[in-house]
């Protein structure tokens, strides 16, 4: 079967014609609104499956319950620790929530090396516990009862409350447990999939005598993003990340969640879609190009996270490189020569796309400087074509993400909805926001007011807000 699939993939690649003009490139990569509406319908049907009692197990878009059910009131107070693991950096933060939406944060960033990302799970969690210990020592936090309100701070339980932002797919049975269902974004640590991540972290923390913390919540970065934004704007119903990876969460009514077994008095819960895996069961047929197939085939997780691989920062640079190679082969750039950096897999990075598009039309200063760092010398004519290629890649991402969002927005019966967004692609690309907003408005079925706003540090602030909300309800 595998052989057959591989052969089919090969045939497919060989049969897809090489793109030999800019128009051909645009029509291969970009899709019209009619097709985006189809994408939106497919996403909507996958969400139904994810939420359905009998369909959840085989659903492509898992729609995990997060057990985050209380939206922030803005009255959350106290000091909380947050851990943030989800990419090539790992962070420990201390966040203080105060009156009048006061938020103060101190943080330390520790690199998460390739060895840690691909080594043993135990090693990874030991590293996290060590960083946490260092941070607590450096901050002198060992002897204070943080997080709890003044009256409670005299209680015997003086452990520090921690919110753990763990930005990978996990199936949750409570707000303080989560079983990793698969790694994404280049992580492959063994011994973690199918295990409760909080339990693994607790074991590593227990190796440090005197490290007294209480992990009271584990959350996805999209959930942190939504909560951080909702803390300021109660109309926030969606949290979106377009960074190294991509994902979205939203507030759903419990009646629509087939497997809901929680508190009957609660009306809603944040659902972590894990939409990166959309397409893994053929839902992206008609959208995937030979470039996407190549990126997928050369990844550490082939045939997984196909939507993520079309829209997120970990992969956009590589799609861009493959397109440029075809443009050079068609003699549209570099006089038909392929520069060294473009010959190597992942030879250029996603931030080049943002840099190339940052120049005002007709000028190429940024683009030229940025490509020079990769040893690529380009003429104005080359740079004009390169800009067009960059636009195709980023525009496709923003438009596909918009189509995904519309599938959710159509479910929510509110006249005005705010979407909190974070992630390097959204943050750094000069036009991503505008294309996203424009496309959402073009695709929406029933007109409503949609606000798309940058959510400041969802992974840190959001984790503190969730920890505060959970501590409050546990009191």
Give catalytic residue positions. 185, 221
147 or 458: CB nearest ligand BGC: 458
Does residue 221 belong to the site contacting ligand BGC (CB under 6 A)?
Answer: yes
Does residue 271 belong to the site contacting ligand BGC (CB under 6 A)?
Answer: no
d(CA 295, CA 174): 36
Does residue 241 belong to the site contacting ligand BGC (CB under 6 A)?
Answer: yes
Does residue 279 belong to the site contacting ligand BGC (CB under 6 A)?
Answer: no
Does residue 167 belong to the site contacting ligand BGC (CB under 6 A)?
Answer: yes
Does residue 424 belong to the site contacting ligand BGC (CB under 6 A)?
Answer: no
d(CA 337, CA 424): 31
Does residue 222 belong to the site contacting ligand BGC (CB under 6 A)?
Answer: yes
147 or 224: CB nearest ligand BGC: 224
* Per-residue x/- track, 41-70, ligand BGC (CB under 6 A): ------------------------------
Q: How far is the CB of 242 from ligand BGC (least distance, A)?
A: 8
* SS3 label, residue 133: helix
d(CA 466, CA 343): 45
Residue 220, both tokens: 């996805």
Instruction: Pick the closest to residue 474 from 239, 179, 176, 146 (CA basis).
Output: 176
Q: Give residue 250's Cα distance to chain centre.
A: 14
Q: Which helix (H) or strand (E) holds 451?
A: strand 449-454
247 or 293: CB nearest ligand BGC: 247
Residues in Cβ contact with 42 at an 8 Å cutoff, skipping those fewer than 6 apart: 278, 283
The single residue among 50, 121, 169, 458 that binds ligand BGC, judged by CB under 6 A, is 169
Per the CB < 8 A criterion, the answer to whether 200 and 121 are in contact is: yes
Per the CB < 8 A criterion, the answer to whether 131 and 113 are in contact is: no
Q: How far is the CB of 54 from ligand BGC (least distance, A)?
A: 24
Instruction: Pick the closest to residue 421 from 444, 440, 393 (CA basis).
Output: 440
Q: How far is the CB of 389 from ligand BGC (least distance, A)?
A: 25
- Burial, 147: exposed, middle or buried (Cβ in 10 Å; 0-12, 13-18, 19+)? buried
The CA dihedral of 278, 283, 289, 290, to the nearest 10 degrees, is: 90
Q: How far is the CB of 330 from ligand BGC (least distance, A)?
A: 33
Residues in Cβ contact with 8 at an 8 Å cutoff, skipping those fewer than 6 apart: none
d(CA 19, CA 323): 8
- Burial, 75: exposed, middle or buried (Cβ in 10 Å; 0-12, 13-18, 19+)? exposed
The single residue among 40, 220, 418, 439 that binds ligand BGC, judged by CB under 6 A, is 220
The single residue among 76, 196, 308, 357 that binds ligand BGC, judged by CB under 6 A, is 308
Does residue 458 belong to the site contacting ligand BGC (CB under 6 A)?
Answer: no
347 or 458: CB nearest ligand BGC: 458
Segment 64-103, which members bind ligand BGC (CB under 6 A)? 86
Does residue 121 belong to the site contacting ligand BGC (CB under 6 A)?
Answer: no
The single residue among 163, 245, 460, 462 that binds ligand BGC, judged by CB under 6 A, is 245
Residue 355, both tokens: 């840099």
* Per-residue x/- track, 175-204, ligand BGC (CB under 6 A): ---------xx-------------------
Other CB atoms within 10 A of residue 363 CB: 11
Residue 163, both tokens: 């919110």
The interface region with ligand BGC, picked from 39-47, 242-250, 333-341, 388-396 by CB under 6 A, is 242-250
The CA dihedral of 377, 382, 388, 390, to the nearest 10 degrees, is: -10
Does residue 274 belong to the site contacting ligand BGC (CB under 6 A)?
Answer: yes
Per the CB < 8 A criterion, the answer to whether 435 and 67 are in contact is: no
Closest-approach residue to ligand BGC (CB): 245
The single residue among 161, 178, 224, 276 that binds ligand BGC, judged by CB under 6 A, is 276
Residue 280, both tokens: 């893994």
* SS3 label, residue 270: strand
The interface region with ligand BGC, picked from 20-28, 76-84, 100-108, 240-248 by CB under 6 A, is 240-248
Does residue 168 belong to the site contacting ligand BGC (CB under 6 A)?
Answer: yes
The interface region with ligand BGC, picked from 113-121, 161-169, 340-348, 448-456 by CB under 6 A, is 161-169
Work out whether strand 170-174 and strand 177-180 pair parallel, antiparallel, or are unpaired: antiparallel
The interface region with ligand BGC, picked from 93-101, 166-174, 211-219, 341-349 by CB under 6 A, is 166-174
The site that binds ligand BGC (CB under 6 A) totals a number of residues, namely 17
Residues that bind ligand BGC (CB under 6 A): 86, 167-169, 184-185, 220-222, 241, 243, 245-247, 274, 276, 308
């Amino acid at each position: 079967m595998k052989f057959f699939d591989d052969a089919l993939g090969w045939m497919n690649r060989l049969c897809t014609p090489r793109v030999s003009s800019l128009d051909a490139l645009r029509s291969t990569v970009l899709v019209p609104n009619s097709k985006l509406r189809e994408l939106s319908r497919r996403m909507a049907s996958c969400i139904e499956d994810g939420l359905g009692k009998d369909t959840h197990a085989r659903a492509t878009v898992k729609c995990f319950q997060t057990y985050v059910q209380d939206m922030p009131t803005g009255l959350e107070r106290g000091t909380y620790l947050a851990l943030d693991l989800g990419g090539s950096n790992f962070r420990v933060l201390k966040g203080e929530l105060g009156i009048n939406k006061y938020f103060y944060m101190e943080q330390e960033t520790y690199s998460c090396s390739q060895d840690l990302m691909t080594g043993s799970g135990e090693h990874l969690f030991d590293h996290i516990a060590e960083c946490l210990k260092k941070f607590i020592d450096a901050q002198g936090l060992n002897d204070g009862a943080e997080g709890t309100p003044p009256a409670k701070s005299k209680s015997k339980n003086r452990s520090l409350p921690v919110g753990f932002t763990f930005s990978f797919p996990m199936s949750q049975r409570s707000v303080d447990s989560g079983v990793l269902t698969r790694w994404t974004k280049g992580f492959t640590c063994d011994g973690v999939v199918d295990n409760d991540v909080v339990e693994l972290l607790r074991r590593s923390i227990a190796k440090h005598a005197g490290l007294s913390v209480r992990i009271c919540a584990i959350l996805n970065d999209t959930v942190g993003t939504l909560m951080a934004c909702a803390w300021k704007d109660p109309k926030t119903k969606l949290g979106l990340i377009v960074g190294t990876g991509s994902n979205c969460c939203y507030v759903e009514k419990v009646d629509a969640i087939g497997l809901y077994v929680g508190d009957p008095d609660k009306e809603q819960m944040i659902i972590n879609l894990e939409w990166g895996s959309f397409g893994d069961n053929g839902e992206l047929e008609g959208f995937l190009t030979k470039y996407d197939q190549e990126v997928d085939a050369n990844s550490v997780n082939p045939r997984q996270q196909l939507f993520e691989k079309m829209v997120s920062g970990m992969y956009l640079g590589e799609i861009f490189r493959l397109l440029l190679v075809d443009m050079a082969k068609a003699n549209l750039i570099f006089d038909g020569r392929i520069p060294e950096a473009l010959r190597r897999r992942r030879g250029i990075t996603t931030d080049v796309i943002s840099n190339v598009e940052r120049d005002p039309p007709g000028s190429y200063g940024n683009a030229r400087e940025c490509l020079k760092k990769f040893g690529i010398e380009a003429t104005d004519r080359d740079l004009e074509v390169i800009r067009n290629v960059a636009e195709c890649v980023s525009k496709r991402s923003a438009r596909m993400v918009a189509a995904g969002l519309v599938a959710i927005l159509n479910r929510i019966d509110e006249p005005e909805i705010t979407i909190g967004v974070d992630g390097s692609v959204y943050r750094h690309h000069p036009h991503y926001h505008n294309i996203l907003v424009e496309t959402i408005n073009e695709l929406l079925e029933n007109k409503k007011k949609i606000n798309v706003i940058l959510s400041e540090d969802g992974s840190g602030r959001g984790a503190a807000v969730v920890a505060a909300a959970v501590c409050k309800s546990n009191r």
